[in-house]
Amino acid sequence: MNSSHTPSPLLSRAKLRASTAFAMVLATLLAGLLLALVIRIPVAAELPVGNVRIVSERTRSILAETQGSITISCFMDQRNPLFRPISRLLKGLVQASRSVAGAEIIIQYVDPRRDLARASRLVSAGVPTNALFFEQKRRRFVVTLDEMLVTLPSSPETLKGAQSPRALSQIFIGESLCASAISRLAKPFERPIVYWLQGHGEGQIDAYDQLTGYSDIARELMRSGYEIRPLELAGKTEIPEDATVVIIAGATRKIAVTERELMDAFLKKGGRLLYMVSHHKETGMEAALSDWGIQLTPFTAVSPKTASGSNIVISQFTEHICTRNLNNASVVFENATCLAVTTRTNRLDETDAPRAVPLALSDEAGWGERHPEIFPRQFDPHSEQKGPVIVAAVAERGLSAAKDLAYRAPRIAVIGEANFISNSALSARTNANRDFFMNVMNWLSAIDTSTASSLGGDAVLVTGFVRSDWIYLLLWSAGIIPALFFLSGIVFFWIYKR
């Protein structure tokens, strides 16, 4: 009689299977709910990806130096292929702004298909579809998605060292543009005006050639709030009074005496000059630079520390505003002229004496080569300059003058090469050439803000994981995590059997 109420083994197994299936369904539903919750709630966790972080140190520095709240409206269709990397970048900006206690970043996602009211407001403000709209008080800035994708030249030299040419055919530079937009919002309303000297074989700011053009750095200057104007001194009586900085980028012909006099008068009135040397070309500016304590030598900077065999990788910087936070970065020069920095103490007016300091130097193994076209390169201690050699320097006058608000100290910067900011040099995105140039420009224009290298922040979104990262991901997703679930099931089953 009692035996009739004992459950059969088949019924017990059926109940076990049903309960197991029910538990699996509940676990699946729970995982789906958690996934939906993560998608809906904008929670950002900044984790390292490969060897870089979601947001680079350069962007962190800009956020730390910016105050107030900035609203970023992501006006784009969420089905756009770029929505995922952009939303990831925006979350990283929010997380970084909280960690550095600087600018408060507020993100708004506006889908033109769903959020019709907010979409119409953005359209009436002149914001195009598929763009990021930066807003701080009454200041506004727009970055379109088309600007965030840069197509690399297909030459083997620029793609050397890339994982695959197809993966690097287009670069996503969203972080650099966002950082520039935030930096521009924080700057004063007056736009610094940069005059780019022409007429002596200088590099052209409107040249879009993938190798020799300077259109990329011109666009970067404009994104950072500068206004660029061409400058021809022939027939002029003075350099325009609204000039903040004058750039001489690789002049290959002589600059007339009258033009040099205009330049000298501009500097005496507190002007700022950036002179980038053209390899083995005399322009007549050498004596003027020497008066500032910076001399051009006949040597070319070379070193065993090279990326291609012919260029030189510079990673040694002195303490200066222009080089702040660039200690872990590298600047690549192809044919940089060696500089010499001297201090002239025989002036009667020591207040006006220039103070020249080096910025960037080669390593100890580098030297000044007299014949860089001859390979293999070997150092001759009798006729060549022993390293480390200087490839960039700055000078300033009037540092001891009274702190008068009306006084503007003249400044100059000399860089041993102009091609380090050409389109081909910047497109590689494996160096800090852009950051070094922008830091020098900020110092010359009296903004005096510098940032760390932007390497990494955008590179993750383009190249993704490296090979070792994919292997680890595969092991965890297809091996370790399933094995942990399997072992957990065995343990629970053993406990249930007990």
Domain that holds residue 105: 44-187+457-464
Same structural domain, 66 and 117: yes
Contacts of 46 (CB under 8 A, 6+ apart): 53, 54, 55, 92, 95, 96, 99
pLDDT for position 463: 37
> Do both 228 and 343 map to the same domain?
yes
Share in percent of the chain as helix, strand, coil (round to 5)? 35, 20, 45
Looking at residue 470, what is its pLDDT?
Answer: 56
Same-domain pairing of 345 and 482: no
Distance of alpha carbon 486 from alpha carbon 103, whole angstroms: 47
Which candidate, 86, 107, 97, places its Cα nearest to that of 61?
Answer: 97
**302 inside domain:** yes
Half-sphere exposure at residue 185, Cβ-oriented, CA atoms within 13 angstroms: 29
Q: Whole-angstrom Cα distance, residue 65 to residue 282?
A: 41
Give strand pairing partners of 186: none
Q: What is the pLDDT along the chain (498 residues), one digit of tens a residue?
A: 455 555 566 667 777 777 777 777 787 777 777 766 655 554 544 444 444 456 777 788 888 888 889 999 999 988 888 888 888 888 888 888 888 877 889 999 999 988 899 999 898 888 889 999 999 887 888 888 887 876 654 444 443 444 444 444 566 778 878 888 888 787 765 678 999 999 999 998 888 887 788 998 998 888 777 889 999 998 899 999 999 999 999 999 999 999 999 999 999 999 999 999 998 899 999 999 999 999 999 999 999 999 888 899 999 999 998 887 777 788 999 999 999 998 654 444 555 688 999 999 999 999 999 999 988 899 999 999 999 999 999 999 876 554 444 567 899 999 999 999 998 888 776 688 988 998 899 899 877 554 445 544 443 343 344 445 556 666 676 667 777 777 777 787 777 777
- 20 burial via Cβ count (<10 Å: 0-12, 13-18, 19+): middle
CATH code for position 177: 3.40.30.10
d(CA 98, CA 96): 5
Within a domain: 320: yes
3-class DSSP assignment, residue 51: coil
3-state secondary structure of 54: coil
* Phi-psi region at 471: left, alpha or beta (left = phi > 0; alpha = psi -120 to 50): alpha
* Same domain, yes or no: 327 and 401: yes
In terms of domains, do 213 and 84 share one?
no
The CA distance from 280 to 276, in Å, is: 12
Q: How far, in Å, are 9, 49, 150, 182, 458 from residue 56 at the CA level?
A: 62, 11, 19, 14, 8
**What pLDDT score does 40 carry?**
59
- Residue 175 pLDDT: 83
The number of domains in the chain is: 3
Answer yes or no: do 78 and 107 share one domain.
yes
Place of tokens 């003075």: 238
CA distances from 454 to 28, 59, 83, 299 (A): 41, 7, 21, 31
Indicate if 377 and 253 belong to the same structural domain.
yes
**Cis-peptide into 376, omega within 30 deg:** yes
> How far apart, in whole angstroms, are the C-alpha atoms of residue 284 and residue 281?
9
Cα angle, residue 61 at apex, residues 60 and 66 outer, rounded to 5°: 95
Q: Could you tell me if 431 and 485 lie in one domain?
A: no
Instruction: Count the Cβ atoms, other than its own, within 10 Å of residue 331.
Output: 29
Burial class (CB in 10 A: 0-12, 13-18, 19+), 488: exposed
Sequence-ordered alpha helix ranges (H) in 187-240: 215-223
Strand 385-386 to 337-341 pairing: unpaired
Tell me: do 161 and 254 sit in the same domain: no
Q: Is residue 349 included in any domain, yes or no?
A: yes
What pLDDT is recorded for position 403? 47
Asked if residue 233 belongs to a domain, the reply is: yes
Q: Is residue 15 part of a domain?
A: no
Backbone angles phi, psi at 290, to 5 degrees: -65, -35
Q: Does residue 109 lie within any of the structural domains?
A: yes
CA atoms of 459 and 441, how far apart (whole Å): 24
Do 412 and 309 share a structural domain? Answer: yes
> Does 9 fall in a domain?
no
Residues 360 and 279 in one domain: yes
CATH code for position 297: 3.40.50
Instruction: Kindly state whether residue 475 falls inside one of the protein's structural domains.
Output: yes
Residues 213 and 253 in one domain: yes
